[in-house]
Every structure is written in structure tokens, then in C-alpha cells.
Structure 1
């Protein structure tokens, strides 16, 4: 990939993360990236194509980073904890400005597939990944239900971390996740039959 294209994606990602998609115009991206308008349109026919490329790159980067954090762990519980710990580390970085996928859905809704598809895919991938991890602890239906709750906890923690600049919300979200998992495991464990 050309260095100009990389520069455009990098600058656009930073600007969109900090200010949103609609408030940031193409002119500002061009100035900050130091790229000519024709160069932008050679790589991206329109602003929406640039937004789509930014979201796709963000998706690839986040999933690769998350998987690298989770892979060294052994048990299902350690794997899930690694996902929440990764979020806490992300919340603590200076460039953290909330979730770009959430921002995309907030600004564009779900009626614009060029942009919404990748944002929804991120949520689905994360939920399915946690569901697969949970299947070693829970029946399939309970694992699916619990993973969707864990995703809600991560979404909420991300919003709170941005609002209050408090990365430790991820730890509190993990505490809540552990309680839910423990309850689900207890509910799924067969009770001993008592003979009178």
C-alpha cells in the first residue's frame, strides 16, 4: 500500500476518532495529511470510501491486537479476562477517544451499509468470539446469551471510559462479567438427585 494512502488513513482515523465523521471535512484531512486532493481521490472515490477504509483498518488492527493478548492465556476465564484487560489498557492510552464503530453507528445508523456493515461486523465478531470461549463452560444457548451480555458490558465500559476518563471501568465491567458467568455456570450445573 502506498505511503500516501497510509498517511490518509492514519490522519483520518485520528481526526474521526477525536471529532467525529461528519464534522471533519476532506479539506482538513488533506491539510493535516499533507496530501493533494487528486491523490486522495486516486485512492478513495469519496469521503465515504475513506471512512470505510478507516473502519476496516481499525477492525483488522483491533482484532489482531486482541488475539495477541488472548492467545498466551489458557483457560476460558483467563481468555475472557484478557479481553477486558486489553480494553482497560486501551482506555488508558493518550489517543483513546471512544469506539470508532460506535461513533459510525451513531452518526450513520444502519441504513448505510458501506459504513455500518464493518461496525456491526465488529460487534458480531467480538460476541461470537466470546461465545466460543464460553462454550467450554456453558451450554451453547447459555454461552450465546452470556456473550451478548459481556459485549454490552464492554460497550458500556468504553462509553464510560470516554466520558469520565477512567480506564478502571473495565475492571468493574469484568467484576460484573465474572458474577454473571458464575451465575450461568451454577444454573447450568446439574443438581444432585436426592433420594428420600
Structure 2
């Protein structure tokens, strides 16, 4: 990837994360990145193509970081707990402003099937990752159902963190983890 293309992606990622997709125009990205309009459109034929590239890059980095955090754990229980702890750490970071994937769906809805597909792809990978961990205790169908539910818990935790911020007396990620443990207990799995 060319240096200018990466500068455009990094600039767009920061601006979209901070201000939203529709609020940030191409001119602002060009000015902030210090590139020409021709350079931007040479690498990205449309703003939607730029958003897709931003999300694909973010997805790749996110999954790499999450998998690295899980790989450091020595047991399935520790991996499952680390999954939720990863989100807690993200929630406390300075650049947390909600989920760029969820925000893209909220801003564009069904107007962009490509953005929906990226979101679905990420969710499918997270569910598969969680299912793999849960298969240490459960058969395939219950593991998939609980993985799907854990993904919903995390999505809810993200929205709660955005809504309440760091000043909340409750940690949405910790509540999601407690709820996941309770759900597993109903399946006979003590965590």
C-alpha cells in the first residue's frame, strides 16, 4: 500500500471515529491528510469505497489484536474472560467513541449493502471465535447460540458505554461478562 493511501486511510479512520461518517466530508479528509482530491479519488473512487476500506482495515486490526489477547491465555475460561476484558480495556481508552461498525449501520442502514456485509462478516467472525471457545464445554448448537448471545451482550455493552461514559458506576463489559457466566450456568457450565 502506498504511503499516501495509508495516510488517507488513517486520517479518515480518525475523523470518522471522532465525528461520524456523514458529518465528515471528502474535503475535510483531503485537507487534514494533506493530499489532493485527485490523490484521494485515485485510491478510493467514492466516499463509500473509502469507508469500506477504513472498516476493512479496522476489522483486520481489531481481530488481530483480539486474537493476540486471547492467545496469551492458558485455558478456555481465561480466553472467554479475556474476550470481555478486551472490550473493557477498549472502553477505557482515550479513542473510544463507540463502535465504528455499529455506527456505520446506524448512519447508513440498508442504503449500503457493502457496509452491512462488512458488519455481518465481523459479527460472524466474533461468533465463530466465541463458539470455538465455548465448544470446550458445549455441543455445536448451544455453543453457537450462546456465542451469538454474547455478541449481543457486547453490542449492548458498547452502546451502554457510549451512553453512560467512563463516569458510570457500572462497567458494561463486566455486566456483559457476568451475564455470560449466568447464561453458561443455565447450560450446566460453571465458570
With the length of structure 1 as denominator, give the TM-score of the two structures.
0.91
Matches within 5 A, 1:91-106: 91-106=91-106
The separation in 1 between residues aligned to 2:23 and 2:157, in whole angstroms, is: 25
Structure 2 segments unaligned to the other structure (5+ residues): none
Deviation, structure 1 residue 59? 0.3
The separation in 2 between residues aligned to 1:105 and 1:185, in whole angstroms, is: 36
Larger radius of gyration: 1
Does the CA contact (< 8 Å) of 1:84 and 1:171 recur in 2?
A: yes
The separation in 1 between residues aligned to 2:79 and 2:110, in whole angstroms, is: 31
- Which residue matches 2:15? 15
Deviation, structure 1 residue 74? 2.3
Does the CA contact (< 8 Å) of 1:59 and 1:122 recur in 2?
A: yes
Structure 1 segments unaligned to the other structure (5+ residues): 187-196
The separation in 2 between residues aligned to 1:24 and 1:95, in whole angstroms, is: 17
Deviations 1:9-50 (A, max 9, x none): 111111111221111110011111111111101101111110
Structure 1 runs (4+) deviating above 6 angstroms are none
Deviation, structure 1 residue 77? 1.6
The separation in 2 between residues aligned to 1:88 and 1:65, in whole angstroms, is: 14
Does the CA contact (< 8 Å) of 1:138 and 1:185 recur in 2?
A: no
The separation in 1 between residues aligned to 2:120 and 2:156, in whole angstroms, is: 16
The separation in 2 between residues aligned to 1:78 and 1:29, in whole angstroms, is: 41
With the length of structure 2 as denominator, give the TM-score of the two structures.
0.93
Deviates more, 1:167-176 or 1:87-96: 167-176
Deviation, structure 1 residue 111? 4.7
Deviation, structure 1 residue 106? 1.1
Task: Number of aligned residue pairs: give it.
Answer: 187
The separation in 2 between residues aligned to 1:35 and 1:44, in whole angstroms, is: 13
RMSD in angstroms over aligned alpha carbons? 1.5
Q: Residue 184 in 1 paired to residue 187 in 2? A: yes
